[in-house]
Amino acid sequence: MIVVALRGASVVAFLLLWEWAARVPISFNFPSPGATLTALLALLRSGALLTATLTSGQSLLLGMGAAVLVGVPLGLVMGVVAPVGRVARVYLDLLIALPTAALIPLVILSFGISVASSAVIVFVFSAPFVTMNAYGGVRDVRPRLVEMARSFDASWGQLLARIVLPSALPMILAGVRYALSRAFVGLIVAELLLSPFGLGRLIMTARSMFEHDRMFATVLWTLLMAGAALAGLARLEARWLRWRA
C-alpha cells in the first residue's frame, strides 16, 4: 500500500516539477507535459512515430539477432576451450571498456548510411556483453553436474545440450537483456548522427525545426519503447527460467 503510494507520489511529483519548469519557463525550448502529450498523440495519429519505430526496430532486430547468433556460440567455445577463453577475454574486456560510440564514424564510413550500418552499430554495442555472459555462464557450470553426467557416460553433445547450456542459460539471457539496453544507446546515437531514418531522425528533425514539443514527445516515446522492450524480455526470461524460483 505505502509502497504504491510512494511510487505514485514520485511520479506525480515528477510531473508537477516538469509542469512548473515549463511554466517558469526555465528555457523557451521547454514544453509542458500537456503539450508533449498532445504532440505525442498527434505523432502517433499521423503514423510518423510508428514508421520510425519500425525502422529503428528493424536495425535493432538485425543487430541483436547477429549478436546472439555470434556471441552465444563464441562465448560457449571460450568457456569450453580454456586457452581460447583466456585470449579472447582480453579483447572482450577492451571492447567492453571502450566507449563504443567512438567506433560509429568508422562504421558509417565502412557501411555507408543505411539500415545495415545501424544494425552493425547495434551489433558492436551488444555482442561483447552477450559473449561475455555466455562465457561466464559456461565457466559457472557446477563441476559436480558435469561429473554426474559423465558418470552416466554422456557424450560431448549430450553434455553440452543437457548440462552446459541449461546451466549457462540464466546468465546468457541476462547478458542478452543487458546487451539490448546497450544496443538502444548505440542505435539512438547512430540515428541522431546519421539522421536519415528512425526515431533519431524524428528527434533531430523536430529539433532543427524548433518543434520542441514534438522532440520531447519522440524522446519520451523512445524511452518508453526501450523500457517496454526490456520489460518484455525480462518477463520472457522469467518464464523460461521458472525452475529458478
Partner 1 sequence: MRGRDSEVGRAGVIAVVSLLGAWEMLGRLHLSMFVPPVTDVAVAWWRLLGNGTLSKAASSSLLSLAKGFGPAAVLGVVVGLAMGRFRTVRYLLDGWVNALMSAPLSALVPVLIALFGIRDTVVAATVFMFSFFVIVVNTMTGVRGTDRSLVEMARVFGAGEAALFRRIYLPAALPAVMLGLRLGAVQAVKGMVVGEMLISLVGLGERLIYYGNTFLITELYAVIASVLVIALLASQAVQAADRALVRWK
Contacts of 62 (CB under 8 A, 6+ apart): 115, 116, 119, 122
Interaction between residue 169 and partner 1 (CB under 8 A): no
- C-alpha to C-alpha distance for 161 and 156, rounded to whole angstroms: 9
Least distance in angstroms from the C-beta of 223 to partner 1: 5
Phi then psi dihedrals of residue 112, to 5 deg: 75, 180
- C-alpha to C-alpha distance for 225 and 234, rounded to whole angstroms: 14
Measure the CA angle with vertex 26, ends 219 and 226; round to 5°: 15
- C-alpha to C-alpha distance for 230 and 36, rounded to whole angstroms: 24
State which of residues 35, 70, 89, 116 lies at the interface with partner 1 (CB under 8 A): 89
State which of residues 67, 132, 163, 176 lies at the interface with partner 1 (CB under 8 A): 132
User: What sign does the CA torsion over 11, 13, 18, 23 have?
Assistant: positive
Residues 181-200 that bind partner 1 (CB under 8 A): 181, 184-189, 192-193, 199
Interaction between residue 1 and partner 1 (CB under 8 A): no
How many angstroms from the chain centroid is the CA of residue 12? 28
Interaction between residue 140 and partner 1 (CB under 8 A): no
Interaction between residue 27 and partner 1 (CB under 8 A): yes
Interaction between residue 227 and partner 1 (CB under 8 A): yes
Nearer to partner 1 by C-beta: 34 or 148? 34
Interaction between residue 99 and partner 1 (CB under 8 A): yes
- C-alpha to C-alpha distance for 160 and 138, rounded to whole angstroms: 10
Interaction between residue 22 and partner 1 (CB under 8 A): no
> How many residues sit close enough to partner 1 to count as binding (CB under 8 A)?
61
Residues 49-88 that bind partner 1 (CB under 8 A): 86-88
Interaction between residue 98 and partner 1 (CB under 8 A): yes
Whether the CB-CB separation of 56 and 185 falls below 8 Å is answered with: no
Interaction between residue 207 and partner 1 (CB under 8 A): yes
- C-alpha to C-alpha distance for 187 and 178, rounded to whole angstroms: 14
Name the residues that contact partner 1, by CB under 8 A: 2-3, 6-7, 9-11, 14, 26-27, 29-30, 86-91, 93-94, 96-106, 108-110, 129, 132, 136, 174, 178, 181, 184-189, 192-193, 199, 203-204, 207, 212, 215-216, 219, 222-223, 226-227, 230
